[in-house]
Amino acid sequence: MNELRDEFTDSTPGPFSLGADTHVVILTGAGISAESGLATFRGQGGLWEGHRVEEVASPRAFSRDPRCVWRFYNARRTALKAVEPNAAHRALVSLERYIKDGNFTLITQNVDDLHQRAGSRNILPMHGELVKIRCTECNHLEENRDDLDDFPRCSCGALLRPHIVWFGEMPFYMETIASRMRELDVFIAIGTSGAVYPAAGLVEQAKRSGARTVWINPDEPPFEFSWDEFYRGPAATVVPTLVSRWTGKSV
Ligand code: NAD
Ligand code: ZN
């Protein structure tokens, strides 16, 4: 890994070059939305907005107390309405437009809709989306931004649930992700703690595919040897600068 442990500034050297033909896979986590005003999860002693995740983000919690789980997710859904994408989300849209069609993949662990609202297109929200809900009985799945009560029902009468991947459940898009991880040149992780699997294992797949790996975060990566480049700092500062160096355009 490079020795870029100091805070990122305009004079920090790098990065590697990145052409329009490069296959790029980006992985984002809660940190990219921190500067929009959404709390990260591990940053606060393992609590997510004051809750232990197993109390609110597991199938067991939902079957035991669906109203408590829905109150938590309804609060997260309401919070989305008060925040906006930041410069890092927007810079990734510029990068996507610069890269040739089909060569850019944005995998996000975030359940907020800030990448989508910024204009990202090729996005795989592997942990689900707060703005989607689905039935616990039938196949019904819908995008829904309404205020819901704490026991919302499907038209079939069954209980609805958030379209979120809870602990113990299989993330979405795993086959697509696996195929993108076989053909990439560069893997860039932004604002993720690297603690939640299987997302945390993607860097090893990227290395096996011979890709260059880049870590953007105020904190050092957990497995230092996995990363070729490290840019230390907040996403909304670092990502636009790197993207404008990569693309040669101001963002
Ligand atoms: P995490 O909370 O475990 O880690 C956040 C990371 O972001 C940390 O490494 C931290 O150093 C870094 N960070 C903090 N401020 C930053 C900034 N300004 N710029 C760049 N990085 C910054 O997040 P995770 O790895 O995404 O895992 C958390 C899980 O909880 C995910 O599965 C996610 O679905 C869920 N979650 C989602 C949201 C959201 O959608 N916005 C918020 C909280 C939790
Ligand atoms: Zn139903």
> Domain spans of the chain?
5-37+85-127+169-247, 44-82+134-163
Length of the chain: 251
Q: What is the dihedral of CA 215, 119, 38, 129, to 10 degrees?
A: -100
Percent of the chain with pLDDT over 70: 94
Strand partners, 215: 189, 230
Catalytic residue among 23, 115, 127, 163: 127
pLDDT at 44: 56
Q: Which ligand is nearest to the CA of 33?
A: 1
Block residue for tokens 């693309």: 247
Is 21:103 a contact under the CB 8 Å cutoff?
yes
- Cβ of residue 130 lying under 6 Å from some atom of ligand 1: no
127 is catalytic: yes
Does CATH place domain 44-82+134-163 in 3.90.245.10?
no
Residue 159 has pLDDT above 90, yes or no: yes
User: pLDDT: is 173 or 47 the higher one?
Assistant: 173
- Residue 147, token pair as written in the block: 């205020």
- Burial of 17: CB neighbours in 10 Å, binned 0-12, 13-18, 19+: exposed
Name residues with Cβ closer than 5 Å to ligand 2, which is an ion. 135, 137-138, 140, 154, 156, 158
pLDDT at 50: 79
- Cβ of residue 35 lying under 6 Å from some atom of ligand 1: yes
pLDDT at 199: 87
Does CATH place domain 5-37+85-127+169-247 in 3.40.50.1220?
yes
- Cβ of residue 219 lying under 6 Å from some atom of ligand 1: yes
Residue 152: asked if its preceding bond is cis (omega within 30°), the reply is no
State which ligand 1 atom lies nearest to the alpha carbon of 127: 34
Q: Residues 229-233: what's their mean pLDDT?
A: 93
State which ligand 1 atom lies nearest to the alpha carbon of 200: 25
Residue 4 has pLDDT above 80, yes or no: no
pLDDT averaged over every residue in the chain: 92
Confidence of residue 125 (pLDDT cuts 50, 70, 90): very high
pLDDT at 42: 65
Whose Cα sits closest to atom 14 in ligand 1? 31
Whose Cα sits closest to atom 35 in ligand 1? 110
Confidence of residue 39 (pLDDT cuts 50, 70, 90): confident
Residue 76 has pLDDT above 90, yes or no: yes
